[in-house]
Amino acid sequence: MTIAAQPLGWDQRPLSELIEHILERYHAPLRSELPRLIELAYKVEDAHADSERCPHGLAQLLTEVLDSVEGHLQKEEQILFPMFLSGRGAMAHMPVQVMLQEHEDHEDNLVRIHQLTSGLTPPDEACESWRELYRGLHELEVDLMDHIHLENDVLFPRALAG
């Protein structure tokens, strides 16, 4: 493949494409995956309440994460992204600062999840639901970190630069 034939990176694609990608690849899946993980967490906590390795409080933490993430996504979708798409990105310094702080809060929540789950490592005797919960949490973490990177390091700097 020649250099000219290689697909452009997100740092070179139109801002509208980047935002659409973020909405489809990250926002929509977060909204469906977090409720599924909350349901699994309740199931695991109920079934394994007597186990020392049971992630007690995980379902509650994930519920808090869902509330926080949903508020964050709404701010991006209703305020920030429309500003970017209308060419007013250079005026978005304060909203971007809020988003950056919330991204740090999301990262802190991932640390809390790791603490409750022994680093997302199920015990040897874990049932399939427990294993699926931790697999899903791992995928959530990877996607969330990719999402945060794409916004912090690509979208926000480009939009603020105008």
In whole angstroms, give the CA distance from residue 110 to residue 141: 7
Residue 27 — very low, low, confident or very high, per pLDDT cuts 50/70/90? very high
Q: Of 104, 107, 75, 105, which is closest to residue 92 (Cα–Cα)? A: 75
pTM listed for this prediction? 0.91
Task: Tell me the per-residue pLDDT of 117-152, one tens digit each, with 9 for 90 and over.
Answer: 999 999 999 999 999 999 999 999 999 999 999 999
One-letter amino acid identity for 105?
D
Task: Tell me the per-residue pLDDT of 44-95, one tens digit each, with 9 for 90 and over.
Answer: 999 999 999 999 999 999 999 999 999 999 999 999 999 999 999 999 999 9
Q: Specify whether the CB–CB gap between 101 and 32 falls below 8 A.
A: no
What confidence score (pLDDT) does residue 48 get? 96
Residue 7 — very low, low, confident or very high, per pLDDT cuts 50/70/90? low
Whether residue 162 has pLDDT greater than 90: no
Rounded to 5°, angle at Cα 143 from 46 and 111 = 55
